[in-house]
Amino acid sequence: MAVLTEEQTLLRDAARTWTQEESPVARFRSLRDSGAPLRFDPAVYAEMAAMGWAGVIIPEAYGGSGFGFLGMGLILEETGRTLTASPLLSSALTAASALMLAGSDEQKQRWLPGIASGATIATLAIDEGAHHRPSHVAMTAMRDGTGYRLSGSKNFVLEGMAANLFVVSARTSGASPDTAGISLFLVEASTPGLGRAPLSLADSRGAANLVFDNVEVGVDALLGTVGDGWAALEGTLDRARAGLAAEMLGAALQAFETTLDYLKTRVQFGQAIGAFQGLQHRAVKMYTDLELARSCVEAALTAIDETDPRVPEYASLAKAKVGDTLHLVTNEMVQMHGGIGMTDAHDAGLYLKRARAAEATYGGQAYHRDRYARINGY
């Protein structure tokens, strides 16, 4: 654990207390079983926002607290532990980052205070295929009269059914997968021609596929400069990756601790199964990976706060390392629990399903290993 300031410690403790008491895994389970349409409880998100969590990275001038990414990571680690479902990552971190990195003052004034208060839910709509490949943008934005006309589709849009605002990548020139020619647009969910359909996902989180059929937006919808959206998109994604990595670290820690408890209490052959060396060594492997993963997550979040030029490298490192670790820990969680781990009644399955969805989001391990190699010139 990084050395925290007094305020960061208070924030972390508050997040831990609230998630453990108000949002335990059982609450996520009952949300899933209730079939709630948005896949999160708006009242719960309002509670989180009331504690100031949705404004942690947003500057005070725009209604936030400007507390930084390490602070946001502390909250996400705790919500990750209990699988708390909310738009905290997609809206308060990711979409807010896009506005902070590329927005004009008017755009920030218009949208950031609502995101910080939780009243507005914003999200990225960037992926078009089965894999996260953000430069593969086929959606077009044609200059037309007073604005632009957007046509194409976006898939796997997190909180896509709940969102009032989408940050959309579209091509104003060039061809996929060129990075030049990609522009970012702010598109309100109510805009005519924009259709959305909910996805039912294994991890029971909210997501949607979007179809843009000649969606008209004004020039004020352009986020940043035309054709030059790639840098802001990458910057936004790296913040999202670091934040998601913190959430994944929390999920991995909880999956590990639950499994470790089971190793100490489950008795077979007259002894706790945790006495068997075959399981002990696998437990230490997980513990080792968790310690290494934590260092990567904290380095990525700190690099963002310190505007360190190594943010892209650290974000890919963190996403890949935590992805591998969460993958391993959730598989071991099922295996070490044996038959009970296969039942829906046990939490192991919830962590396993969340793990794979989180791994794929904003680029899986293979994507980030390739990216890391390119950043390092080989």
> Does 175 sit near other proteins (CB under 8 A)?
no
Indicate the residue among 203 and 298 with the shorter CB distance to other proteins. 298
Asked if 43 touches other proteins (CB under 8 A), the answer is no
Among candidates 254, 249, 372, which has minimal Cα distance to 322? 249
How does DSSP assign 115-145, residue by residue?
A: HHHTS--EEEE---SSS--TT----EEEEET
CA dihedral of residues 320, 315, 134, 230 (deg, nearest 10)? -160
Secondary structure of residue 192 in the 3-state scheme: coil
294 makes contact with other proteins (CB under 8 A):
yes
The count of chain residues that interact with other proteins, using the rule CB under 8 A, is 40
309 contacts other proteins (rule: CB under 8 A): no
Of 200-229, binders to other proteins (CB under 8 A) are none
- Neighbouring C-alpha atoms within 13 Å toward the C-beta of 231: 10
Of the candidates 241, 246, 248, the one whose C-alpha atom is nearest the C-alpha of residue 372 is 241
Q: In 172-306, at which residue ranges do the beta strands (DSSP E only) sit? A: 182-188, 194-198, 207-218, 222-223, 267-268, 271-272
The H or E element containing residue 157 is strand 147-158
Least distance (Å) from other proteins to the CB of residue 139?
24
Among 48, 76, 255, 293, binds other proteins (CB under 8 A): 293
**376 binds other proteins, rule: CB under 8 A:** yes
Judged by CB under 8 A, the residue of 5, 214, 225, 295 near other proteins is: 295
In angstroms, give the least distance from the CB of 288 to other proteins.
4
For residue 239, how many other CB atoms are within 10 A of its CB?
A: 26
Residue 372 as a binder of other proteins (CB under 8 A): the answer is yes
Residues within window 317-346 making contact with other proteins, judged by CB under 8 A: 317, 320-321
Residue 277: CB minimum distance to other proteins, A = 6
Give the residue carrying structure tokens 């060129």. Answer: 178
Q: Interface residues for other proteins in 9-28 (CB under 8 A)?
A: none
Q: Does 374 bind other proteins (CB under 8 A)?
A: yes
Q: State which of positions 259-288 bind other proteins (CB under 8 A).
A: 260, 263-264, 270-272, 274-277, 280-281, 283-285, 287-288
Cα separation of 71 and 165, whole Å?
Answer: 25
d(CA 359, CA 135): 19
- Where does this chain bind other proteins (CB under 8 A)? 1-3, 260, 263-264, 270-272, 274-277, 280-281, 283-285, 287-288, 291-296, 298-299, 317, 320-321, 366, 369-370, 372-374, 376-378
